Amino acid sequence: MGNASGAAVEEITACEIHQWYRKFMTECPSGQLTLYEFKQFFGLKDLSPGANAYIEQMFETFDVNKDGYIDFMEYVAALSLVLKAKVGKKLKWYFKLYDMDGNGSIDRGELLNIIKAIRAINGCKHDTTAEEFTNMVFEKIDINSDGELSMEEFLDEVQKDELLLDILTQSLDLYHIAGVIQSNSQPESQEEEC
């Protein structure tokens, strides 16, 4: 099975794909998920402007062919990334997601807005404010101190710093989205049939 997005679809079991297909087609019979349906699909309502911008950016990164829809293969690729991808691949995706203006770097404002949006969506309590977290990230990985993170800085420096990598993956993880799909995919009796 071909996969233009490069996600490790082969790591997903046939049972998982079957369950995800049923969920996808139940929620989106047309086979093409719009941004509005994407938000409904994951129960994302009454979002702040920042959280809404983050969800729109996420939708755009999952829409690999940029046709304004997420089809089933893009959906599987996204879930594969969230659930199965190695750290380096997730960090590359995070970088593209956080680079809101698409200029090839992440500035403090972009990172701060993303952190605030993710925290609003996740609803988790944190020991540090979004501003403190953003400052810590820049202090640790903005090697040339230019106020912007290049993809190279982001990938190299985050992977070198176990504490920062752990904090980033915990704070910025998208498992809550995958959890919605997994918890709603099939009743237990149907899962056993796979």
Residue 19 falls within a domain, yes or no? yes
CA 180 to CA 20: how far, in whole Å? 11
Among 175, 181, 151, smallest CA distance to 70 is for: 181
Q: Please give the radius of gyration of the chain, using alpha carbons only, rounded to the nearest integer.
A: 17
In contact, 72 and 24? CB cutoff 8 Å:
yes
Residue 28 falls within a domain, yes or no? yes
Mean pLDDT of all residues in 108-115: 90
Lowest mean pLDDT among 17-26, 38-47, 135-144, 172-181: 172-181
pLDDT in tens, 138-160: 999 999 999 999 999 999 999 99
Q: Under 8 Å CB-to-CB from 175, ≥6 apart: which residues?
A: 82, 83
Residue 8 falls within a domain, yes or no? no
Cα four-point dihedral sign 35, 37, 41, 43: positive
Q: Is the pLDDT of residue 109 over 70?
A: yes
Joined together, the tokens standing for residue 32 give 């093409």
Q: Which residues pair with 33 in a beta bridge?
A: 70
Rounded to two decimals, what is the model's pTM? 0.69
Residue 2 falls within a domain, yes or no? no
3-state SS class at 12: coil
Read off the CATH number of the domain in which 39 is found.
Answer: 1.10.238.10
Inter-residue long-range contacts of 40-49, CB under 8 Å, 24+ positions, other chains counted: 41/180, 42/177, 42/180, 43/180, 44/121, 47/120, 47/121, 48/117, 48/120
Residue 57 falls within a domain, yes or no? yes
Tell me which residue range forms the domain holding 187: 13-191
Residue 1 falls within a domain, yes or no? no
Residue type for position 57: Q
Q: Under 8 Å CB-to-CB from 118, ≥6 apart: which residues?
A: 54, 171, 172
Residue 3 falls within a domain, yes or no? no
Q: Percentage of the chain surpassing pLDDT 70?
A: 79
Give the residue, 166 or 35, on which the prediction is more confident. Answer: 35
Q: How many domains does the chain have?
A: 1
Residue type for position 58: M
